């Protein structure tokens, strides 16, 4: 579960006011981006989602969820190349889909 300065945040786009919880198994994976240093992608327990992200998840819109996440991620990390960010987002969201354990439940 992500949290920001104003409390819990969406685990996908880091937006405020998550409304849904998606149960997930704990998971960990190391990814290597183009021969660079390995980056760890890990998660413990459920993922929280804001309404816009939940709509993409429930609609099965993988590309829409990735683009929405990048739209919010890139301004927070201006030095992060878009291609690297996209790879990290895709890998993390693939892990979410693989480790998801059931239907969403209302959160908060």
The domain locations on the chain are 2-102
Q: Place 32 in a pLDDT band, splitting at 50, 70 and 90.
A: low
38-63 confidence digits (pLDDT tens): 666 667 889 999 999 999 999 999 99
Q: Which residues pair with 24 in a beta bridge?
A: 100
Q: Place 92 in a pLDDT band, splitting at 50, 70 and 90.
A: confident
C-alpha distance across the termini of the chain, in Å: 13
Distance (Å, whole) CA 49 – CA 61? 14
φ, ψ (nearest 5 deg) of residue 8? -60, 145
Q: What is the mean pLDDT of residues 79-85?
A: 88
φ, ψ (nearest 5 deg) of residue 50? -75, 170
Evaluated on CA atoms 40, 74, 14, 89, the torsion sign reads negative
Mean pLDDT over the full length of the chain: 86
């Amino acid at each position: 579960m992500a949290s920001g300065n104003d409390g819990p945040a969406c685990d996908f786009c880091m937006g405020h006011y998550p409304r849904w919880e998606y149960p997930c198994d704990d998971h960990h994976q190391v990814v290597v981006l183009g021969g660079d240093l390995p980056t760890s992608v890990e998660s413990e327990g459920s993922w929280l989602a804001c309404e816009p992200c939940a709509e993409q998840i429930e609609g099965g819109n993988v590309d829409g969820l990735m683009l929405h996440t990048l739209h919010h991620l890139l301004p927070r990390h201006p030095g992060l190349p878009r291609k690297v960010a996209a790879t990290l987002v895709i890998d993390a969201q693939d892990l979410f889909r693989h480790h998801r354990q059931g239907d969403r439940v209302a959160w908060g």
